[in-house]
Structure 1
Amino acid sequence: MRHGRHVLVMMAALAAGSVATEASAGSVQRSVTNRNVSIETVVQFGDSVQPVTIEENSRINIARVIQVGGTGTADATIVQNGTRNYANVIQVGGITNAVIGQSGVSNTAGITQIGNSTNALLLQIGDMNTGTVRQFGRFNWLAIFQFGR
C-alpha cells in the first residue's frame, strides 16, 4: 500500500508540473503539489546519487534536496516560480553541483556543499531575496545573481 501511495503522489506531482528524478536505491522522495502550495523533498545517499531536478510553479514553493554521496558527483537543480519561494540544497560528494533559480516576490535559498570540488549558481528575481552559500572543498566556484523586480 505504501508503494501505491508513492506512485499516486508521483503521478499527481507530474500532472501538476512538478518534476523530480527517479528514486535511486538509497533515496526518499516526498511531494505535495496544488495551485497554492508545492512542497518537494528528495533525500539520497550512497555511492551513486542520481541528478535531481525540481520545478515548482505554485503560489508558495518549498523544495529541499539532501544528497550524501561517496566520491561521485551530486547534482541538484531547483527552479521555482511563485509568490514565495524557499529552496535548500545540502550536498556531500566528490563533486557537488547545485543550481537554484527563483522568481517571485520573496525568495529564500540556502546551499551547503562539502566535497573536493563544489559548484553553485544562485539566481533570484524578486523584491526580497535572501541567499546563503557554504562551500567546504579544495576547489570552490560560486555565482550569485539577485535582481529586484
Structure 2
Amino acid sequence: MKRVLAVTALLAAACTATPASAGSVQRSVTNRNVSIETVVQFGDNVQPVTIEESSRINIARVIQIGGTGTVDATIIQNGTRNYANVIQVGGTTNAIIGQSGVSNTADITQIGNSTNALLLQIGDMNSGAVRQFGRFNWLAIFQFGR
C-alpha cells in the first residue's frame, strides 16, 4: 500500500511538471539491442495498454491508476532478457504478460474489486511475482524451460 501511495504522489508531481500530459505519460526508446517502454495513466477512463517488444533486452513498465472502471495491460516480449512490471489500481484490473527469452522477470501488483492476471514465461531463467488485493482474484502462471 505504501508503494501505491508513493506512485500516486509521483504521478501528481509529474502531472504538475508537465501539464500537456494531463492523464497519460508514455516514454519509449527502441533499437535492435534494447527496447524500453514506460506508460503511466491515471484518471477515470484509462485506456487499454499493449506493449510489444522484440529487441535483445526488453524492459516494459505500465502504471495505471484508474477510477472504478476497468484497467487493462498487455505486455509481449521476445528477446534474450525480458523485464516487465505492471502496477494497476481500478475496479477491475487485467494484466497479461508473455515473455520468451533466456532470462525472464515479471512483477504484477493489482488493487481492485476484481483482479485478473496471466503470466506466461518461456526460458531457462524465469522469475515472476504477483500481488493481488481484491475481493475476486484470478491468477494463472505458466513457466516453461527451453
TM-score interval, smaller chain: 0.7 to 0.9
Post-superposition offset of 1:25 = 4.7
Separation in 2, partners of 1:146, 1:48: 33
Runs of 4+ residues over 6 Å off in structure 1: none
Matched, 1:128 2:129: no
* 2:25 equivalent in structure 1: 28
Separation in 2, partners of 1:95, 1:25: 22
Identity rate of aligned residues, in percent?
92
Q: How many residues were matched structurally?
A: 126
Separation in 2, partners of 1:59, 1:76: 22
* 1:66 equivalent in structure 2: 63
CA RMSD of aligned residues (A): 0.8
Q: Deviations over 1:80-102 (max 9, x none)?
A: 00000000000000000000000
* 2:39 equivalent in structure 1: 42
Separation in 2, partners of 1:80, 1:59: 10
Separation in 1, partners of 2:109, 2:52: 20
Query: Secondary structure at the residue paired with 1:49?
Result: coil
Matches for 1:109-124 after TM superposition, within 5 Å: 109-124=106-121
Name the TM-score, length of structure 2 as normaliser: 0.85
Unaligned stretches of 5+ residues in structure 1: 1-23
Q: Deviations over 1:40-92 (max 9, x none)?
A: 00000000100000000000000000000000000000000000000000000
Separation in 2, partners of 1:125, 1:65: 21
Unaligned stretches of 5+ residues in structure 2: 1-20
Name the TM-score, length of structure 1 as normaliser: 0.84
Separation in 2, partners of 1:85, 1:60: 6
